[in-house]
Amino acid sequence: MTEKNEDKYKQFSNKLLDWYDIRRRILPWRAAPGEISNPYFVLLSEIMLQQTVVVTVIPYFIRFVKKWPTINQLAQADFNEIASLWAGLGYYRRAKNLHETAKIISTKHNGLIPNNKEVLLSFPGVGEYTATAIMAIAFDKKANVVDGNIERIFSRLYKIEEPLEHSKKKIRTLSNKYLPCNRNGDYAQSLMDLGSLVCIPRTPRCKSCPVIFTCKLGGRADAGLYPKRLPKKSKKQRYGIFYLLIDNEGSVLFRTNKNERLFANMDVLPSVGWNEEKENFKTSPKIISKDLALFNLDWEILETKINHVFTHFKLDCTVVFFRINKKMTKNLLINKEYRFVKKKDFNQLAIPSLINKILTTFEDKIY
């Protein structure tokens, strides 16, 4: 590395840290200037931030640390409570992984989050990015933290023409050269803030950028076109039936999805045809045949369709409805997999956003 390049990298990090000292975001998991980071807060926030934006995570993070201020308390919590507070945050496997990780740290590491990347990587749900972020932010270790924001910054900084899908390794190599000798946690967070506040996706605010002097695309009209991307693949279409069963008191039938694929350990409406390994519906059902008539009831197909988009597919939901009497309710509850829940108690459940969408759309059926 030449002396000229060393100066360039040092100037970049210094300018960015100076900007961060003035413009840094105030976030509930961040240590105030001069204070030491809380490793539990860093771990919790990084897992919550996986595939979820900051503004969505903030209220969930606050509720979690208010209820479970330490990782030992989180480890001892009932998972149903955790899942209930997680409801609406999405990607529910993260909640299960978080709880399992908390239990491992509590029992095997005396409640102390390890200051060791390899150990962090052994925990459920902790991958390369999360482990690196914890090392930098929680322990101020020199670590090359690269998320989507940082990929965008360096793809513009160097005007990288290869699609991001093919240039991730190159970006990681380039960004590693800019790591400062100290303030590692602040530097990682300064890049995150630069990507969130200035070097934003479509219309970057180049005039406000503290490192525009070194950017090959700084101030150019085509900066928003970077990073380049491969053409998007169309998402596959799936179809499913969701059973909305109401008793004569207005309670709704739920089942707990016991660690199965999507919505693991969440409270859901019974459904069929969309989330199995095989035998998925090819089209939206027009009639409820005998083999689809859950509990052998005469289900009514509701006219309004619900559409929901997941990471890898789109779902067309056919909602069917039936209201049963008290005698029939007792017979159904012989199967302990199911339970009826009153509307006022929905907030005690861990309900995925799709199920909430269905309940909200057809709330006139629930009283």
- Residue 181 to residue 10: CA distance in whole angstroms: 9
Encode pLDDT of 48-79 as tens digits.
999 899 999 999 999 999 999 999 999 999 98
Q: What positions carry a catalytic annotation?
A: 46
Largest CA distance in the chain: 84
Q: Which two tokens stand for residue 96?
A: 């299960």
Q: At what angle do helices 128-139 and 184-197 cross, to 10 degrees?
A: 120
Torsion of CA 181, 186, 192, 198, to 10 degrees: -100
Q: Which two tokens stand for residue 313?
A: 């597919």
- Residue 86 to residue 208: CA distance in whole angstroms: 36
SS3 178: coil
Q: Which two tokens stand for residue 140?
A: 């101020």
Are the C-beta atoms of 249 and 363 separated by less than 8 Å?
A: no
Entry pTM: 0.81
Determine the pLDDT at residue 330.
65
Encode pLDDT of 260-308 as tens digits.
667 877 889 999 999 876 678 889 989 999 999 998 899 999 999 999 9
Q: Domains, the chain, ranges and CATH?
A: 3-225 (1.10.340.30), 236-365 (3.90.79.10)
Q: List, in sequence order, every residue forming a beta bridge with 246; answer none if it has no partner.
A: 252, 323
- Residue 46 to residue 329: CA distance in whole angstroms: 43
Give the number of other Cβ atoms within 10 Å of residue 360's Cβ.
Answer: 10
